[in-house]
Amino acid sequence: MSKKVIIPIGPYHPLQEEPEFFRLFVEGEKVVDIDIVLGYMHRGIEELAEHKHYDQVAFLVERICGICSNSHPFAYVNAVENIGKMEVPERALYIRTIIAELERLHSHLLWLGLAGHFIGYNTVWMWSWRYREPVLDCFEMITGNRQHYGMMKIGGVRRDIKDEDVPVLKKTLDELVPALDMFKGAVMDDPVIQARLKGVGVLTRKQAIEWCAVGPTARASGVDIDIRRDDPYGAYDKVDWNVIVEKDGDIFSKTVVRILEMYESVGIIRQCLDRMPKGEIDANVKDIPPGEGIGRVEAPRGECFHYVKSDGTNRPLRHKIRAPSYMNVATNKVAAVGQTISDTTITLAAVDPCYCCTERVMVVDKKTNGKIMDGLDLVRLSQEKTEKIKKALKQ
Amino acid sequence: MKLLLSYLIFPGFLFSACIGLFAGWVDRKVTARIQYRVGPPWYQNFMDIVKLLHKEIIIPEGARLTFLFAPFLGLLSVVLMSTILGRSLNIYASGFSGDLIVIVYLLVMPAIAMIIGASSSENPLASIGASREIKAVLAYELPFILSIIAIIVKSGGSIRIGSILNHQAFAGSNIASFSGALAFIVVLFSIQAKLCFVPFDASEAEQELMAGTLIEYSGLPLAMFKLTKAILLYALPVFLIVLFMGKDISPIFLIGKYILILVSIILIKNTNPRLRIDQTLRFFWGPMAVLAVLALGLTLFGL
């Protein structure tokens, strides 16, 4: 029993839909340590962003993540608008908020399904994904796409919400609420689910603050933070809603926070649809002045942060992104250790990790001890490799 | 010759495997309908086996000989078990004294085969699966055997399947009595665990251990384990019917009762998350063992 065994979860594993590598050090059934290895999906988005002009970057950052594909462009346009202190038409703010909240609905439903799948409850998985479909249909109706909506634009939004679409949206929401009630009952009252999730993967309030947890992961541990309220953007300061906070920090609380947040999202969308003024949806921004700007957005997984530095040209000089999962995945180091393998798998999934967002890459030279390759070196390496391949092809 | 035929064809290997694979399809179809999916066509499970037979057999480096021996052990024992069970159903007198005990023994063999196979494959995930399987066997065997003892006491101390059926034909099904109903619940859950279905499938947990005990198997050996599972899916509910609902076992009633039990197993499977292995142990040694002891006690008082 005392022999340490390494159980690999990843890089390719049925638990995860994306490649990520967790090495569990196991004694018997108990996990004594965990090693988190990132970097299987690095695509160099920040470097790419510095080689595209401002309008293209909105589409580029949308491709960072497939699930919260609105949060990144939303944070990016917030950052760019922050540079020039631009005024955005009010209708555009409301439309942005509606899209962001619809996204939260579909993202939380997706997580709920996956969480069910991870504890072997495939019925919850299929059911919650079934009720996620109408939300995606709404996206298709408004934006033309089920994912990657392409709605965010510096100074406004690309597409308007048509008047005839509003009743359809409201009807979808009305039909979604009974489904949410059902999930609430099925999860919060089921004794077997409670036995599996209560007291498991506990992240205390102190640990959540120390490990910089954000979003639902932090709110389930009793940390009352929400960018939508603390630093309002979009139309969040013009509607009434509550921040859901739970105290226990276990996986059950994380589930409850997400389910209750979906009710808030439904409320926000309804109010936005009612209060949305008529008018322009685009401020027709022509130039980005030199300067720096930050944009913060409460993505379904937590705070998404973008920093953009402009030198007055049509391309960002520097673009820095911090996705919420980067903070939340690290909390597994405290939340997952000391449990059985069964509990660890659901704990790893409970932060709703999004690995595409999280990827970082760094090359360390062991001989000189600490010499790090930077982005330029990597670009040079890649160009050299391409040249080599080209030569090999010619021969 | 006749015995060999009954072992290989009816009611042995061929018959029970076909029924089992078909029941496996019922499982997949009902599960799919519950989950708003369409589900596979009826011949899907047969095609799966045929496909597996065409596949390469990969033996992991460092695996012991028992790795290939285990699937045979599992399959041969369940076929023998289903033969004994099927023959007793057809002709009451065909059994022998103590065939109930033999069946109970043979029912443990698939789990033991899994444990042997998994622990000889040198895969850490498989060895964790094997250790979970051992715990699961220890967990469900206690209440399972206690409930069967209750049935034996009820049928006048007979350990022959034929006479248990005879007894029920005169005195009514065992499930109709209070103690019988309690024992039925216990055995139903034990069957769920023996079939390795959710909520008791910790040893194969796809999301944790990637099929755990079966992870290194491929081709023919995997097909044999799948067939073992399929035959269990046929034989275990029939065993349950024999023990508890044996009043009328004419073909129509038999099929009706079989479908009833099959569907309730599938429903339990689809309305529960997976239990941790320690919770499984607690469940069977706690409430289930208490129920089984209660059933046994009530039987002694003739209830």
Task: Output the average pLDDT for chain A.
Answer: 84
The end-to-end CA distance of chain A, in Å, is 58
Partner-chain contact A116 B273, CB within 8 Å: yes
Q: What pLDDT was estimated at residue A365?
A: 60
CB B246 within 8 A of CB B165: yes
Among A119, A129, A255, the strongest candidate for a mutation testing the B interface, having the largest count of B CBs within 10 A, is A119
Among B274, B275, B282, the strongest candidate for a mutation testing the A interface, having the largest count of A CBs within 10 A, is B274
In sign, the C-alpha dihedral spanning B93, B94, B96, B101 is negative
Same domain for A256 and A380: no
Distance CA B245, CA B235 (A): 15
State mean pLDDT over A62-69.
Answer: 83
Helix, coil or strand: residue A24: strand
Same domain for A379 and A354: no
Chain A residue at shortest CA distance from B201: A120
Q: What are phi and psi of A338, to 5 degrees?
A: 95, 5
Which of B125, B270, B276 has its CB closest to that of A342?
B276
Domain total of chain A: 2
Same domain for A161 and A201: yes
From the centroid of its chain, how far is CA A21? 19
Chain B residue at shortest CA distance from A127: B35
Q: What pLDDT was estimated at residue A204?
A: 87
Partner-chain contact B271 A116, CB within 8 Å: no
Indicate whether A32 belongs to any domain.
no
Chain A residue at shortest CA distance from B199: A120
Q: What pLDDT was estimated at residue A268?
A: 92
Q: Which of B213, B200, B10 is nearest to B111 (CA)?
A: B213
Chain A residue at shortest CA distance from B126: A7
Indicate whether A99 belongs to any domain.
yes
Which whole-number Å values give the CA distances from B295 to A11, B143, B171, B298, B301, in the listed order?
50, 10, 18, 5, 10
Q: Is the pLDDT of residue A355 over 70?
A: no
Partner-chain contact B273 A120, CB within 8 Å: yes
Whether A343 contacts chain B with CB within 8 A: yes
In A, which residues are within 8 Å of B210 by CB distance?
Answer: 13-14
Chain A residue at shortest CA distance from B135: A29
Residue A248: how many CB atoms within 10 A of its CB?
A: 18
Partner-chain contact A119 B273, CB within 8 Å: yes
Same domain for A382 and A289: no
**pLDDT beneath 50: ranges in chain B:** none
Same domain for A391 and A351: no
Whether B125 contacts chain A with CB within 8 A: yes
HSE-up of B43 (CA within 13 Å, CB side)? 3
CB B172 within 8 A of CB B154: no
Indicate whether A36 belongs to any domain.
no
Express each pLDDT in A229-286 by its tens digit. Answer: 888 888 888 888 888 888 888 888 888 899 999 999 999 999 998 888 888 888 888 8
Q: Is the pLDDT of residue A68 over 50?
A: yes
Q: What pLDDT was estimated at residue B121?
A: 81
Same domain for A352 and A385: no
Which of A28, A195, A341 has its CB closest to that of B279?
A195
Same domain for A205 and A184: yes
Distance CA A20, CA A359 (A): 9
Distance CA B231, CA B100 (A): 18
Which whole-number Å values give the CA distances from B58 to A12, A14, B61, B70, in the listed order?
20, 21, 9, 15
Whether A182 contacts chain B with CB within 8 A: no
Express each pLDDT in A305-332 by its tens digit. Answer: 889 988 888 888 888 888 888 888 888 8
Per-residue pLDDT band at A3 (split at 50, 70, 90):
low
Among A7, A9, A31, A122, the strongest candidate for a mutation testing the B interface, having the largest count of B CBs within 10 A, is A122
Residue A166's CATH number = 1.10.645.10
Q: What pLDDT was estimated at residue A36?
A: 82
Indicate whether A18 belongs to any domain.
no
Per-residue pLDDT band at A1 (split at 50, 70, 90):
very low
Per-residue pLDDT band at A358 (split at 50, 70, 90):
low
Same domain for A150 and A53: yes
Indicate whether A363 belongs to any domain.
no
Whether B212 contacts chain A with CB within 8 A: no
Residue window 132-171, chain A: list those with CB within 8 Å of chain B: none
Same domain for A180 and A52: yes
Same domain for A297 and A394: no
Indicate whether A352 belongs to any domain.
yes
State mean pLDDT over A206-213.
Answer: 87
Indicate whether A341 belongs to any domain.
no
Which of B199, B210, B278 has its CB closest to that of A13?
B210
CB A342 within 8 A of CB A8: no
* Pairwise pLDDT comparison (A377 vs A173), residue with the higher score: A173
Helix, coil or strand: residue B164: helix
Express each pLDDT in A139-189 by its tens digit. Answer: 888 888 888 888 888 888 888 888 888 898 899 999 899 988 888 888 888
- Full residue range of the structural domain in which residue A270 is found: 45-335+346-358
Same domain for A288 and A385: no
Same domain for A372 and A329: no
Indicate whether A273 belongs to any domain.
yes
In B, which residues are within 8 Å of A341 by CB distance?
Answer: 128, 208-209
